[in-house]
């Protein structure tokens, strides 16, 4: 049974300076633990053939499929504000690109598939825990409607990786619109390679922003497009309580997808200053800081494109600043629109931003659960007798009662029925998110007992986040005090 990948590779056709050609390193005894069969079908792949010994070998990096051109991509990046001129794929290898059933080009990449020229003395491998975390969170984000890379498969290698202790090794097969990052542009800019920047920009336009090619100023239009997508993306993060954890420029995709799930986390109780990443000691990438950091990262991209804007550097900087100035308004529009939907408003009126902010302030002050407060508010919108479901999440229920008076007055000014309002709210306020303690429990079961039943069940629940799923209602509950996960860790 031959596994066929209809590769049509374009990035590997770029000059050699864009990547290093390197094959995955074979592993001892690969075992497929999860195949995303619906995603395989969307990619034009045969899931039954992937779920075979040959398919497992491909997904673990033991066998290279026909048509693949394995490469490790070169990029640089600002890591916690400090520039590193050469990073690159140190433990990831891009097998190639396929066109999915919607006509969209997708990268297929192996993470944890062995060392590359960019490994910087690392082993190029991944531990099982981070692989499971990325699989869970990326697929949950997709179900939540947030642009994201996807997970096609997870395999165990049959080998151990050494971190603080020996851990089971694994490989994640990741799918993305592309793996081009802000840091990819920075790689060429740091070398003064204007021709490389132009070649990369032309490739990005052709792949992600074809309309920019028809614009009077294509490279300005490219920056405008990336800014618009990042503004929308970060707004969506905040609306579901997501914290990326490591918003370095090398983790910022120019396609507008969430990429590189390391020490990411979802809020339990609402806290704008929340930080879970063990390596974010200064809170640079705290929940509420994410829009500001996104703009900072986009400014670094703009710096790389200046040579394509104008030969006059001052003029180029002025043009870039005008485009960057669009980000705050674009982010605010997306974020405020999402917040209005979360509290059930169909129209926009003066005072709405204040109304929502008053709720958020009360949630922060009384440590209300972010996800369940909005989900229960959806129920209260349909029936005022269900206010108790919201109140119970506030340490001081009177804080909700005071706010609810103003909220009910505001929703009473609109013509929609309570049922219509509740339906709209339930469609944007999930009941289920990948809570940190649930992910940790899955990882412990898998790494400690080779038990993947909790992993499968959590994936099932998270695949329908906006449905109530009474049989799995316990997955919606916040952690008990002794279950709280206060730190998450990078997977490297």
Q: Catalytic site residues?
A: 250
Cβ 91 vs Cβ 111: under 8 Å: yes
Separation between Cα atoms, residue 134 and residue 127, nearest integer Å = 11
How many CB atoms lie under 10 A from the CB of residue 48?
13
Separation between Cα atoms, residue 183 and residue 76, nearest integer Å = 5
Q: How far is CA 209 from the centre of its chain?
A: 20
Dihedrals φ, ψ of 447, to 5°? -80, -30
Residue 176 structure tokens: 């993305």
What one-character DSSP code corresponds to residue 181? B
How many alpha carbons fall within 13 Å on the CB side of residue 150? 21
The helix-helix angle for 453-462 and 436-449 (nearest 10°) equals: 150
Within the chain, how many helices (H) and strands (E) appear? 17, 12
Cβ 143 vs Cβ 463: under 8 Å: yes
**Parallel, antiparallel, or unpaired: how do β-strands 265-266 and 242-243 relate?**
antiparallel
Q: How far is CA 426 from the centre of its chain?
A: 22
Q: Give Cα separations from 59 to 109, 140, 181, 431 (angstroms).
A: 9, 21, 24, 33
Separation between Cα atoms, residue 352 and residue 336, nearest integer Å = 9
b/e string for 12-31 if b means 16 or more Cβ within 10 A?
Answer: bebeeebbbebebbebeebe
> Is 38 in a helix, a strand, or coil?
helix
Cβ 91 vs Cβ 119: under 8 Å: yes
> Is 306 in a helix, a strand, or coil?
helix
How many alpha carbons fall within 13 Å on the CB side of residue 360? 18
């Amino acid at each position: 049974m031959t596994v066929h990948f209809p590769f049509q590779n374009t990035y590997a056709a770029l000059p050699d300076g864009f990547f290093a050609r390197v094959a995955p390193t074979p592993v001892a005894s690969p075992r497929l633990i999860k195949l995303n069969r619906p995603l395989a079908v969307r990619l034009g792949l045969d899931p039954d053939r992937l779920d075979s010994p040959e398919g497992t070998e491909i997904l673990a990096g033991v066998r290279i499929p026909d048509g693949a051109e394995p490469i490790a991509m070169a990029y640089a990046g600002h890591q916690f504000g400090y520039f590193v001129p050469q990073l690159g794929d140190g433990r990831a290898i891009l097998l190639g690109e396929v066109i999915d059933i919607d006509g969209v080009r997708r990268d297929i990449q192996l993470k944890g598939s062995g060392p590359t020229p960019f490994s910087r003395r690392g082993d190029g491998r991944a531990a099982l825990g981070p692989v499971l975390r990325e699989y869970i969170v990326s697929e949950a984000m997709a179900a939540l409607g947030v642009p994201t890379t996807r997970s096609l498969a997870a395999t165990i290698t049959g080998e151990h990786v050494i971190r603080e202790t020996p851990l089971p090794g694994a490989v994640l097969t990741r799918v993305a619109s592309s793996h081009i990052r802000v840091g990819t542009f920075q790689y060429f800019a740091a070398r003064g390679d204007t021709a490389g920047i132009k070649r990369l920009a032309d490739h990005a336009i052709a792949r992600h922003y074809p309309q920019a090619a028809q614009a009077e100023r294509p490279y300005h239009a490219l920056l405008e497009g990336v800014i618009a997508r990042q503004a929308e993306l970060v707004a969506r993060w905040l609306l579901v309580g997501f914290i990326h954890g490591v918003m370095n420029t090398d983790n910022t995709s120019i396609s507008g997808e969430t990429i590189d799930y390391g020490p990411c986390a979802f809020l339990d109780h609402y806290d704008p200053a929340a930080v879970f990443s063990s390596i974010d000691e200064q809170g640079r990438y705290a929940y509420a800081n994410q829009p500001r950091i996104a703009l900072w990262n986009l400014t670094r991209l703009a710096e790389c494109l200046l040579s394509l804007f104008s030969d006059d550097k001052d003029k180029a900087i002025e043009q870039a600043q005008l485009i960057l100035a669009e980000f705050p308004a674009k982010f605010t529009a997306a974020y405020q629109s999402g917040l209005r939907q979360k509290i059930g408003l169909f129209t926009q009126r003066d005072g709405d931003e204040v109304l929502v902010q008053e709720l958020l302030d009360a949630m922060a002050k009384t440590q209300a659960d972010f996800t369940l407060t909005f989900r229960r508010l959806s129920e209260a919108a349909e029936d005022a007798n269900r206010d108790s479901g919201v109140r119970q999440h506030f340490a001081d229920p009177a804080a909700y009662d005071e706010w609810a008076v103003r909220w009910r007055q505001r929703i009473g000014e609109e013509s929609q029925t309570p049922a219509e309002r509740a339906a709209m709210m339930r469609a944007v306020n999930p009941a289920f998110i990948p809570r940190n303690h649930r992910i940790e429990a899955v990882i412990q079961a898998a790494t400690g007992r080779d038990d993947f039943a909790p992993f499968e069940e959590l994936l099932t629940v998270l695949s329908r986040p906006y449905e109530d799923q009474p049989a799995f209602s316990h997955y919606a509950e916040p952690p008990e005090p002794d279950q709280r996960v206060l730190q998450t860790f990078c997977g490297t």
